[in-house]
């Protein structure tokens, strides 16, 4: 089956006869930038989901899907090769022969904590709860993203609110922190670094002070 070229799909989706864009609508240039990868993306997904024809039995169905997916991916900010590779990696782990919805694939394209070297959301939540204890060693966070997410909830809430509530709040905050790490932000810059406490100066004993004074006098005479 010959697929319609994605440029045609994009042109139809954002054609010249469409009404003018509102400020909240994505720029058509974004659609054209995404056009080069849609065909390859669909080919990869077809290989991963052999029952794809149940969703798209004909060429017209496939062309309509490409229009819909192009728009949805761009509107969701999924426009880079790296994001699509995240999505494909998670698609390979889905163990389903059936084609995913575009919403499911967009979710797969969100940063995967483990692929970034971060703890899983569940592990991060357990760490945040443990660190909320007053006796916890707050210098031993596994990653700044966990601490930044925990700070959004507060230690008091993590200790006093129901776990169902704190888990929901933390997971959401952690998703945002993970996305920031994926975007290249250094979250460690947000963590205050206290200066080591300096010992108070002690006055010298009279004999030591006398020696220093004599030494200074000798230097002045030189």
| H or E, element range at 111 | none
Query: Residues 6 or more apart from 199 whose CB is under 8 A from it?
Result: none
Average pLDDT, the chain: 78
- How many other β-carbons are positioned within 10 Å of the β-carbon of residue 6? 25
The secondary structure of residue 137, as a DSSP letter, is -
**Which pLDDT score, from 0 to 100, does residue 210 have?**
67
Q: What whole-number percentage of the chain has pLDDT above 70?
A: 68
- Least confident range of 10-24, 75-89, 148-162: 10-24
pLDDT at 197: 41
> For residues 99 and 173, what is the distance between their CA atoms, to the nearest angstrom?
30
189 secondary structure, DSSP code: G
Confidence of residue 39 (pLDDT cuts 50, 70, 90): confident
Distance CA 48, CA 61 (A): 19
Sign for the CA dihedral angle at 123, 128, 134, 137 comes to positive
With 80 as the cut, is the pLDDT of residue 90 above it?
yes
Tens of pLDDT, residue by residue over 145-190, are 999 999 998 889 999 999 999 999 999 999 999 988 988 888 886 6
Place of tokens 């469409």: 18
pLDDT value at residue 82: 84
Contact call for residues 123 and 129 (beta carbons, < 8 A): no
pLDDT at 56: 95
The residue among 111, 60, 63, 59 whose CA lies nearest residue 83 is 111
Question: Using CA atoms, how far apart are residues 174 and 148, in angstroms rounded to an integer?
Answer: 8
Q: Which residues of 134-150 are buried (b: 16+ CB within 10 A; e: fewer)?
A: eeeeeeebebbbbbbbb
Q: Decide: helix, strand or coil at residue 140.
A: coil
Share of the chain above pLDDT 90, in %: 43
pLDDT in the model for residue 30: 59
Half-sphere exposure of 200 (CA within 13 A, CB side): 2
Q: What is the pLDDT of residue 77?
A: 83
Within 13 Å, how many C-alpha atoms sit on residue 202's CB side?
Answer: 5
Average pLDDT over every residue of 93-114: 91
């Amino acid at each position: 089956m010959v697929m319609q070229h994605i440029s045609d799909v994009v042109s139809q989706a954002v054609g010249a006869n469409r009404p003018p864009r509102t400020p909240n609508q994505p720029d058509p240039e974004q659609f054209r930038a995404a056009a080069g990868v849609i065909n390859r993306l669909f080919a990869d997904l077809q290989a991963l989901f052999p029952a794809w024809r149940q969703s798209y039995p004909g060429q017209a169905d496939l062309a309509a899907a490409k229009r819909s997916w192009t728009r949805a991916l761009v509107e969701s900010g999924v426009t880079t090769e790296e994001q699509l590779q995240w999505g494909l990696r998670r698609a390979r782990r889905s163990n389903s022969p059936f084609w995913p919805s575009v919403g499911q694939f967009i979710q797969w394209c969100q940063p995967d904590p483990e692929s970034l070297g971060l703890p899983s959301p569940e592990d991060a939540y357990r760490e945040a709860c443990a660190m909320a204890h007053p006796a916890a060693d707050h210098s031993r966070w596994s990653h700044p993203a966990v601490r930044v997410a925990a700070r959004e909830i507060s230690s008091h809430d993590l200790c006093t609110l129901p776990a169902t509530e704190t888990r929901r709040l933390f997971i959401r905050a952690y998703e945002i922190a993970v996305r920031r790490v994926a975007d290249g932000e250094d979250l460690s810059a947000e963590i205050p670094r206290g200066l080591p406490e300096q010992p108070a100066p002690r006055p010298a004993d009279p004999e030591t002070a006398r020696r220093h004074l004599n030494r200074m006098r000798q230097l002045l005479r030189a």
